[in-house]
Every structure is written in C-alpha cells, then in structure tokens.
Structure 1
Amino acid sequence: MEAPRHDDPLRVGAYSVLARLEAEAEHGSPERRFIVRGGVGDTLIARLPRPDTDPTRWAIEAEGARRLSIPGFLPVGEVGGGGAEPPWCTAPYVPALPLPAALRAHGGPLPGPVVRALGAALARTLATAHAQGVTHAGLSPAAVLLTADGPRLSCLGAVRAAAPDGEHRSGLPGLDSGSLAPEQAAGGRPRPPGDVYALGAVLAYAATGHTVPERDELPDFLREPVTACLSRDPARRPQAHQLLTHPDPAGPMPLPASVVVALAHQSAQVLAAELPVPAHRIDR
C-alpha cells in the first residue's frame, strides 16, 4: 500500500482514493490499482487502465470480467467511467499483495512449499477457466494478488486489450515480455497454451525473482514443469489440468511470516485511513 502520487486520481466514480495497492506498475502490470472508500464506509479495490493504453479495449475486458464467476479470479463488481472519466471497475477489498510486493516483503524468492502451493492454486484456477472456454490472457507476476485465502488473478484480458489479433504485441506498454507467450507476442489469438506459458513464467519468478531464469536456477521440483510450460511450441506445453498432481489442500495456502505481517500491516493502514479532505474545504 502506497500513498497516491500527485498525478493519481482523487476519486474513482463515487469513491475516494485512499492509497495505491502498489508503488509503480511492476512486471508488466497493465492497470493501476487503488484502494478506495465509498461514502458509507465500504472499501474496494478500484482498477483503471494505464494512461498509455487503449481505454476502450480495457473497458471491454472489464465488462467481460464482470460477467464471469470463476474461483480464483478477482471478481469484478461495478464497472463505470466513460466520457471525460477513464473506465474503471471495482472488486471487494481484502488485504492483498501483488506477487512482486510479496517478494519484496519477504526479501527475495518465496520458499519452495509456498511456490508449490501457489502453482497448484493457479493451475487449478486456469484449469477451471479453460474448461469453461475462458482464456485469462493476462497472467504475469503483477496479475497475481496474494491474500490470506490464496491467490487471486487480476488483469484479465490484458493481452487482448493491448492490441487486436494480428498486431505485433512485443514491447507494448503494460505487457510483461517475460510472461507473454511467443505466439501471442506475434499477434496470435490468446488461447489456453498462452496462459500455461505465463504460469511457467510466474512460478519461475516466485522461485527465483525473475521470469526467464536459467534452468539450473530453478529448484528441482520446478525444473521439468516450468521448462515444459515455457516451451516456444504451444503444442509441447502441458494443459493446466495436467499440472495438478495433488488434491486440493486442506486450509489456506501457506504464506511466509513476512508476507502475513505485510498483509496485516496493510489491513491496519486501511482501517486507520481517513478520507482525503477536498482541496476547496476550509476548516473553521
């Protein structure tokens, strides 16, 4: 949780901005995320497109996400904006850290058991989405929000929002090049194998701190699956459900104590946060 910058909005729709969910856009985050509060005290996560991206395409993806109900996806409640106001959408607030922020809080890559549990949770979410005919098309380290109840995926449709099919997407703002499958970078239609490629990059990042490590940098339990996920040939990648080698674990995903402390600190900051005083108000 970071204080808003001078160029951040003071309000999103009817909500006042309390803080940024993260400092700067990291690892290809295609959207800005804020913690906001309404007049009746409800606290939400508000998401807006980056200033250098196409707001129309982003709004289409936000509306599409609102119609989905997939466990593990960050739900979209309200969609707004238009005209002079940039598009936005909201999700219920729970204390959450983007994966890069979690690594910073921990002081480096996450422990093996945490990475295992993260991989299982994300594979399960993608397998559910793919079985429903949904391609996430936006998975990257910044898209993964760690909560006490497990990871939540945001940034749905970032690849589709960045550029239409047939247009080269390499180097576009808001896309993490290390998580973007080669066929999608070349303008191909986002399909499930691209999500699997991104999953491999996310797990490599969680275990090493970067999305394209050397094979020897990966822990033993990740070398084979991550190498398969990162194959340049989509046909050689496993399907998401094939990466599920263990049943659903009992209880929430294990988190390092440092990450739990950071989540608790964020929660306390949000509870203590006061609504910003409008600039035109004069106290008497």
Structure 2
Amino acid sequence: MERLRQDDPPYIGPYTTLARLDADSTEHTVPERRYLARSADGERTVLVCVPRVGADPSRWAIEAEGARRLSVARFLTVAEVGGTAGFPWYAAPYTPMLPLSAVLAAYGGPLPENLVRGLGAALAEGLAAAHAQGVTHAGLSPAAVLVTPGGPLLTCFGAVRAAAPDGMPRSGLPGLDPGCLAAEQASGGRPGPLGDVFALGAVLAYASTGHTVPEQSELPPGLRRLVAACLSRAPADRPTAQELLRELAAPAAGTGPTEVSPLPDRTVLDHTAPLPLPGRVVAALADQSGQLLGMELPATQEPFTPAQKVH
C-alpha cells in the first residue's frame, strides 16, 4: 500500500481514494491502476480499479464488465462497474490483500516450495473452473495475484485482450509482463486456456525465484519439470490447468503423503487457513488493514474536474 500521488484521482465514482495498492517499482507490469478507497458514508471500503495511463478505456471497460459477470472460484468478485466511456472503473469489496511482489517483499525473498505449490494449486483450480466454462483469464501475472487471508485471488481479468486487439502484436506493451506472455499471445493470437497455463508457470517461477524467467537451476528441484512444461513455447506441449492442479496438489518428490516441509514464522492460527502463510506475510496483511481502517475521509470533497481523471 502506497500513498497517493498528485496525478491520482481524489475519488472514483462514489468512492474517495485513500491509497494505491501497488508500489512504484511494479507499475510497468500492472495492467490497471488500483486503489483502496471508501464510500462517502465511511461504511464501505473497496478495491477500485481504473485503466492505466495510455490504455484504451473502451476495451478495458469490456473486460471489466466480463469480470463482473464471472462467478468462478479464486477470481476476484467484481461488485460494481461504472464510470463513463472515457473513465470506466470497477470495484470489489475490500479484504486485506497483497500483490505477489509485496508478499515476496514481506517474506524477505522467494517463497518456500510447499507454499509455492499451494499457491499454484489454488490458482490452477480457479483457471480450471474458468476453462471448463469456456472462459480464458488472459491476464495472469504476478501483479494479477492478490494474496488474502482466505487464499489467492485472480485479478486483472482480460488484460491481454484489453491491451491490444487480436492480430496486433502485444510484445513490449505497458502493463503486460513479458515473462508471462505466451508467444502466441505476444504475436497477436487470440488468448486461450493454454496461454493461461504459460502465465501460471511464469507466476510459479516468480514466486520461487523472484523473477518470471529464471534459469532452470534457480527453481526448486520439485518444480523444475512442471514449470518447464508450462513454459513450453508450443501450446500443445503444456499441461492443462486441471493436469497442473493434480500435479501441484500431489506431494512433492521425496516427501511422503503427510510430510510437509515447515514454513518459517508460521503463525499458530494459520493451520486452518486455505493457504497457510508465513507470519511475516500475515503481519503485512494485518498492517495494511490497520493502516487503511485508520485513515479518515477528507472533511469535504472538491468537485471532480477532468484534470483529476486517470486517462
């Protein structure tokens, strides 16, 4: 969570912005501008998102509406879509949340293998459910993964489709993490389920090493074959999300069915959580929640002007 900047809107729709979710260092690979905000009566705190600077707001708005209509486990629940043709937005109820980059920062480096496997299994479950409904996420990257006390959520739905229409090259476009963009999507191909699997492989690599394109030797031995398969250049050589889920949920090589490697700093309450988190990550989530809930709304709101819009 970061302080607002001068170019950030003071409010979006009915919500007063309080803070930015993403750090400046990750801004280039986040496909939308994300804010923590509160309703004018102070009763509701939300995550509210708008297109990034330079994006086509009409394509972004189409994907936001698509996200609102989704009802898939592990996908962020979009409660509202609003705004104008030039300034669309969507909002979701707030729960303590950290982008994956902030999780690694709080932990102090790459995550342990059993935590990466649990994270990957949860995300693969969401993708498999979406693919079974004929839906492609088309936007998975480390920035799209928000870790909450209830487990990870998939956000940034449709970022690849919103960045450029099919047939137009997408390599090098702001907001798209190049390490997460499958070759067929980078060249302008229509996003498909196996492109999501490629992106999930890059997310697993990032969680394990701190970057999306690591050397094979940097990956934990138990994940090398699986991540390499996900990152195959040919879509047909990648596993499906359902196959990936089965492999990630299975015990890692060299462990028994009940043997789990310990997580440093695990809190005593985490054993019942869907994705048990290290204590330092739990503390970062609690700190965000405390800071945010302690923020007060301005006494008055100035009229909104075009100069305050996020273009």
TM-score, length basis structure 2? 0.87
Instruction: Tell me the residue number matched to 1:197.
Output: 198
Structure 1: unaligned runs, 5 residues or longer? none
Distance 2:235 2:244 in 1: 15
The 5-angstrom pairing of residues 70-89 of structure 1 reads 70-83=72-85, 86-89=87-90
Distance 1:98 1:194 in 2: 21
> How many residues are aligned here?
279
Shift of residue 103, structure 1, vs aligned partner? 0.8
Distance 2:27 2:147 in 1: 15
Shift of residue 279, structure 1, vs aligned partner? 6.8
Question: What is the aligned counterpart of 1:263 among 262, 273, 285?
Answer: 285
CA contact (8 A) 1:27 1:142 kept: no
Q: Aligned letter for 1:253?
A: L
Instruction: Tell me the residue number matched to 1:22.
Output: 22
Which digits, 9 at most, give the CA deviation of each residue in 1:110-133, with x for residues without a partner?
112210100110111111110010
Distance 2:103 2:74 in 1: 18
Q: Aligned letter for 1:258?
A: R
Structure 2: unaligned runs, 5 residues or longer? 251-270, 304-311
In structure 2, the CA distance between the partners of 1:277 and 1:7, relative to structure 1 (3 Å rule), is farther
Shift of residue 250, structure 1, vs aligned partner? 6.6
Which digits, 9 at most, give the CA deviation of each residue in 1:113-163, with x for residues without a partner?
210100110111111110010000000000000001100010000000001
CA contact (8 A) 1:31 1:48 kept: yes
- After superposition, the CA RMSD in angstroms is 1.6
In structure 2, the CA distance between the partners of 1:51 and 1:280, relative to structure 1 (3 Å rule), is closer
CA contact (8 A) 2:97 2:285 kept: yes
Instruction: Tell me the residue number matched to 1:145.
Output: 146
Shift of residue 26, structure 1, vs aligned partner? 3.9
After TM superposition, which residue ranges in structure 1, 4 or more long, deviate above 4 angstroms? none
Shift of residue 251, structure 1, vs aligned partner? 3.9
CA contact (8 A) 2:149 2:273 kept: no
Identity rate of aligned residues, in percent? 63
Which digits, 9 at most, give the CA deviation of each residue in 1:162-217, with x for residues without a partner?
01110000001111000000000000000000000000000000000000001111
The 5-angstrom pairing of residues 231-242 of structure 1 reads 231-242=232-243
Distance 2:142 2:297 in 1: 30
Secondary structure of the 1:232 match is coil
TM-score, length basis structure 1? 0.95
The 5-angstrom pairing of residues 48-197 of structure 1 reads 48-83=50-85, 86-197=87-198
CA contact (8 A) 1:74 1:154 kept: yes
Distance 2:79 2:13 in 1: 13
Instruction: Tell me the residue number matched to 2:265.
Output: none
Distance 1:43 1:258 in 2: 24
